[in-house]
Amino acid sequence: MKDIRNIDFVELESFVIQNGEKKFRAKQLWEWLWKRGASSFQEMSNLSANFRNKLSENFTFHSATIIDEIISNDQSVKFIIQFHDLKVVEGVLIPQKDRVTACLSTQIGCPLACAFCATGTMGFIRNLHYSEIIDEYLLLNNRAKEIFNHSITNIVFMGMGEPLTNIDNTIKSIEILTSRDCFGLSPSRITISTAGIIKGLKTLADKNLRCGLAISLHSADPVIRRELMPVSEYNSLSDLQKAISYYHNKTGDRITIEYLLLSKVNDSERDAELLARFCRAFPVKINIIEYNPTDNAPFQKSDAQSREKFINILNRCNMVVNVRHSKGQDIAAACGQLVKKKRI
């Protein structure tokens, strides 16, 4: 049977009317699905038993479950989430003072195979449906309240996968998360992280979801970037620069550039100058990220002296620069470390 969350409101309303129910029942049903996060028809107490039976005869819930969780020394928590087909993804809760950030996945595996990222070693398995992305949020939000006594305040699409190669489901999940008729989250508290898929960036710009946008750049040298991120072969730096400018002109938003510093790969003075030159075309803030080790990867993080030289050059070029320290490294929950792996 079809998952009831895989149909839109018009189809749901049509089913309600065809089964002799009042039209307003569709809105009640929709609220149970997307506001209250119901995972069974029996929970829907304001619907008649007869109607709930009709729903159970025609639809099902492909609910997800948490099958494992690991707590970091810094209190971040990594979750292994299993879907109805037994495929799994990883998600992370990151507590910080008065907020809790959820790092959500959009795909099982990843098609991009970035050289520094463990997820890419899985290959691409499949996209997550928007209902599965919402399930991630619901499961992690429940655990956030239990563990931290605080609901999720921020969402980053920085888990497994490339959100813009699953753009329809990513956008639909954000629309549900931010809709007043559903979860009512503020778009400004959601960030989409992408390796820079040109077509997807233009779609996001035209949609103007009002979310944050982070571009994983990692090098403004076309040769180095192609070696680190094979996607750059089809999404060139010049085209990416134009797409970011298009996004800014459409939305007025400042973009975040994510830059992973790798020793003797992309941390030279020349690399810093190229990065500054790339970013002059639009207002940005630059997040410098320390490398998180992954199995069999040949990289090392930049030493403190190289990092400071790099940052000083960016500062002299009037760039807004932050150093981002990843959490959850000890449980392989930091950026680039998420990969399907059994618990040790």
In whole angstroms, what is the distance from residue 140 CA to residue 117 CA?
Answer: 23
CA dihedral of residues 105, 290, 99, 190 (deg, nearest 10): -40
User: Catalytic one among 110, 182, 211, 335?
Assistant: 335
Catalytic annotation, pick one of 90, 132, 136, 162: 90
Question: How far, rounded to the nearest angstrom, does the alpha carbon of residue 135 sit from its chain's CA centroid?
Answer: 13
Residue 90 a catalytic site member: yes
Asked whether the beta carbons of 336 and 116 are under 8 A apart, the reply is yes
List, in order, residues 6 or more apart from 308 with CB less than 8 Å away. none
8 A C-beta contact, residue 213 and residue 247 = yes
DSSP for 171-199? HHHHHHHH-TTTT---GGGEEEEES--HH
Among 152, 193, 194, 187, smallest CA distance to 173 is for 187
Q: In the structure encoding, which two tokens stand for residue 272, read together?
A: 């810093």
All residues at 6 or more sequence positions from 218 whose CB lies less than 8 Å from its CB, including other chains: 116, 225, 228, 229, 258, 259, 260, 262, 266
Q: Hey, which residues are catalytic here?
A: 90, 335
